[in-house]
Amino acid sequence: MFNKRVKIKELLTQEPQGQEVTVMGWVRSFRNSQFIALNDGSTNNNLQIVAELGKFDEQLLKRVTTSASLKVTGAVVPSLGKGQKMDLKATTIEVLGDSDAEKYPLQPKKHSLEFLREIAHLRFRTNTFGSVFRVRHSLAYAIHKFFNDKGFVHMHTPIITASDAEGAGEMFRVTTLPFNNPPRNEDGSINFKEDFFGRATNLTVSGQLEGELGATAYGDIYTFGPTFRAENSNTTRHLAEFWMIEPEMAFYDLEDNMNLAEEFIKYIIQYAMDNNREDLEFLSQRLAEEEKQLPQDKRSEMGLIEKLEFVLKNNFERLTYTEAIDILKESNHNKKKKFQYPVTGWGMDLQSEHERYLVERHFKKPVILSGYPKEIKAFYMRQNDDGKTVAAMDILAPGIGEIVGGSQREERLEKLEARMKEMNIPAEELWWYLDTRRFGTVPHAGFGLGFERMVQFITGMTNIRDVIAFPRTPKSAEF
Ligand code: ATP
Ligand code: MN
């Protein structure tokens, strides 16, 4: 029976007292025809299996190669060797799946992250990715737990949407029309009435608008789903397919929104610290090793664990966009013309280099910026009385830049309609959205947290392609 196996992580917490157990996993190494390091994915720690000399058939032992899968039964005894507290003294070894170690792409040496991306189907079997994806899993669980414990309703918003109000031009079209000869209107444009849904549809860029419909019924909701952006940004922080958490709360203003976002981020970091300590320590060491190759001034001031502890202990710095522009403008960095995009003044959109300057050089901690010029923000954000700014907030994290984008939403129908008109957003198409403002509108707010950016922050991985199993980026959709 396969279910009888014990997972290695759990076994390693037991005391070795000669108890009989069965383990299953993949061979990481086989030394001196005697010592098998077995890994089953539950932890980076391998179980040392001792195949006593002379006790097993030569032919069988030849099949114990790196990456072969085994089922081993034996007695758990205190280890004679250093480096592990227990051995499994094998009584039976069964090869479940042979593997030609010569052809196996993962050799027992250090591989670059770039190389491992090319064999993303196997990289889970390395310590680095073992840790990254166990932490990712844990964070996903913590997110549901956080919201569930607060009484939020988890809402599944649609992946195929007809509204292109938000990200026009950045969306992936969904269609079943033939490419070579699509039906056309008289003016030559494509006739989407003939398409599967009888209209043009796209993959969603955000579940927010639908989330607001939920919030104005349940009070508090959140979504946690995939989102898609056809933006051609080849950066270490952008994916074409990424996962986003979007809470939306009725009876919340911008400050409530900031408080929730800060509490939420700290909660999931704390959860990982409490439940993934071993993996975080491994990742912390990995990052320190990686940074040794960088010049001194490019290295992080704190280790990974230290950084996470620091974030937990300190309040996020809160300031307005206007204050941030002043800081950036007055900075030596700007005066010495070290920004690629010079700080031109109020009204400009902040580039990633500006955001990172604020968090990494100036405040040296996460920052919440609020009160952005309305021109650089979306139509649904609540208009401030100054006529110039909206109740938007972004959270910026060291090493990442923007990690959260949110706002209080415009709940006043006339103001919302006026803004939509100014921005050429077709109100007819969003009739259902505007209905929330017609029938019992309430102040409400919400934000979007990019899950992969959060995983990057907590695991210390510098490239977003290394925190999602199979990254989708421009010109790349392997696996
Ligand atoms: P950026 O300026 O970094 O491109 P954005 O302003 O486009 O971000 P939003 O539209 O506010 O981002 O999306 C909400 C959150 O989703 C962001 O704060 C970020 O964490 C995440 N995010 C946005 N675009 C991407 C992407 N292409 N890949 C991964 N995460 C993303
Ligand atoms: Mn973007």
- pLDDT higher for 448 or 170? 448
Cβ neighbour number for residue 291 with a 10 Å cutoff: 16
Pick the atom of ligand 1 nearest to 231's CA: 27
Of the ligands numbered here, which is closest to the C-alpha atom of 351? 1
CA dist 473 to 117, 275, 418, 463, 468, Å? 12, 31, 37, 12, 11
Cα(295) to ligand 2 centroid in Å equals 30
* DSSP helix/strand/coil, 180: coil
- Exposed e or buried b for every residue in 181-214, given b needs 16+ CB within 10 A? eeeeeeeeeeebeebeeeebbbbbbbbbbbbbbb
Region 157-173 average pLDDT: 81
Instruction: Name the CATH code of domain 125-170+205-466 (choices 3.30.930.10, 3.40.50.2000, 2.130.10.10, 3.40.50.300).
Output: 3.30.930.10
Region 58-81 average pLDDT: 96
Pick the atom of ligand 1 nearest to 401's CA: 3
Of the ligands numbered here, which is closest to the C-alpha atom of 376? 1
Sign, Cα dihedral of 269, 370, 210, 230: negative
Q: Where are the domains of the chain?
A: 8-97, 125-170+205-466
Region 220-236 average pLDDT: 95
Pick the atom of ligand 1 nearest to 406's CA: 11
Provide the CATH topology of domain 8-97.
OB fold (Dihydrolipoamide Acetyltransferase, E2P) (2.40.50)
Q: Which of 228, 258, 449, 453 to mutate to test the pocket of ligand 1 (most atoms within 8 A of CB)?
A: 453
Q: Which of 242, 248, 379, 394 to mutate to test the pocket of ligand 1 (most atoms within 8 A of CB)?
A: 242
Cα(5) to ligand 1 centroid in Å equals 42
Residues with CB under 6 A from ligand 1: 229, 237-239, 242, 244, 402-405, 448-450, 452-453
Region 323-346 average pLDDT: 95
Of the ligands numbered here, which is closest to the C-alpha atom of 353? 1
Measured in whole angstroms, the distance separating CA 350 from the mean position of its chain's CA atoms is: 22
Cα(167) to ligand 2 centroid in Å equals 10
pLDDT recorded at residue 163: 76
Of the ligands numbered here, which is closest to the C-alpha atom of 244? 1
Residue 1 clears pLDDT 90, i.e. is over it: no
Residue 456 clears pLDDT 90, i.e. is over it: yes
Residue type, 307: K
- Exposed e or buried b for every residue in 130-162, given b needs 16+ CB within 10 A? bbbbbbbebbbebbeebbeeeebeebebeeebe
Cα(139) to ligand 2 centroid in Å equals 23
Beta strands in 321-412 (DSSP E): 367-373, 389-397, 401-408
Of the ligands numbered here, which is closest to the C-alpha atom of 243? 1
Cα(456) to ligand 1 centroid in Å equals 13
Region 467-471 average pLDDT: 98
pLDDT recorded at residue 167: 54
| Protein residue closest via CA to atom 12 of ligand 1 | 405
pLDDT recorded at residue 357: 95
* DSSP helix/strand/coil, 200: coil
| Protein residue closest via CA to atom 3 of ligand 1 | 402
Residue 297 clears pLDDT 90, i.e. is over it: no
Helical ranges in 101-204 per DSSP H: 113-118, 127-149
pLDDT recorded at residue 166: 62
Region 64-75 average pLDDT: 97
pLDDT recorded at residue 164: 66
Pick the atom of ligand 1 nearest to 244's CA: 16
